[in-house]
Amino acid sequence: MDIIFYHPTFDAAYWVSALEKQIPGARVREWKRGDNEHADYALVWHPPVEMLQGRALKAVFALGAGVDSILSKLKAHPEMLPLSVPLFRLEDTGMGQQMQEYAVSQVLHWFRRFDDYQLLKSESRWQPLPEYHRENFTIGIMGAGVLGSKVAESLLAWGFPVRVWSRSCKAWPDVQSFAGEAELGEFLRETRVLINLLPNTAETAGIINHTLLMKLQNDSYVLNLARGVHVIESDLLQALDSGKVKGAMLDVFSREPLPAESPLWRHPRVAMTPHIAAVTRPREAIRYIAETIGQLERGEMPGGQVDRQRGY
């Protein structure tokens, strides 16, 4: 079995060695330009077209939860990967726990009004504030995949009302479920904290815009953990300036790294991190890839396969 690996920033030597230990008999190599030798599987992140084109692969693994970079490249170069070759993504592999940590810490930060206290500190003001109550602090999660379910589970444990919006209704215990465009307004009306975990598709690009933000509760919060293209940044800034949205925490942006001239850097009600909410953890990812390859070799069809029409 031959496996090729490409990632522009990962330690390729570590991955090659760890994969060979995890998959007995496998020959793993870092792919470099000009390498046209046989391969059964490819592990990739932002792969060059020539890496995959023309190969008789059994499967391709994206080394992250998102596959939009591969799918966007396939639109321009459909010959890069035939539809007959299954494409898999890392559904969790440690990302679920990271998303839980991020979401819970930020929701609690807003719920306990630490954002307000930081602003008071900057003014040297000692002023206890009225507390918020959980029953009025409903969390609305857009996106009901593996990561969305993990985040919902973690917030329920803290006693917050949780609702979710996705393509189809979910039967999750203690979670209100809304589906489709027809129920989006109802989902937003009672939402105090909006958490975005949607996949990046043609339908979801720009979904967090002026119209959507105006349907949220007053003094709401926005937490974007998915993709920067989901948010119209100028609309979000307008909602913040008007007071409709009280605060935003952003991990992803329409341009990355975020340009120095972006007004997001300077807005007092915007906090941000540099796309680190959930990163690929090699040990968990390698274990998942090894198990999935084992299933494929046995003729089984494991979970995690991407539906290229849906985009996730």
Single-letter code of the amino acid located at 131: E
Contact yes or no for 148/172 (Cβ under 8 A):
no
Nearest to 223 by CA among 289, 269, 280, 174: 269
d(CA 231, CA 204): 9
Contact yes or no for 93/284 (Cβ under 8 A):
yes
Candidates 55, 192, 227, 230; catalytic one? 227
State the Rg of the chain over Cα. 21
Catalytic residue status for 227: yes
d(CA 122, CA 289): 48
3-state secondary structure of 262: coil
Contact yes or no for 1/19 (Cβ under 8 A):
no
Candidates 46, 113, 267, 275; catalytic one? 275
Catalytic residue status for 113: no
Cite the active site residues: 227, 275
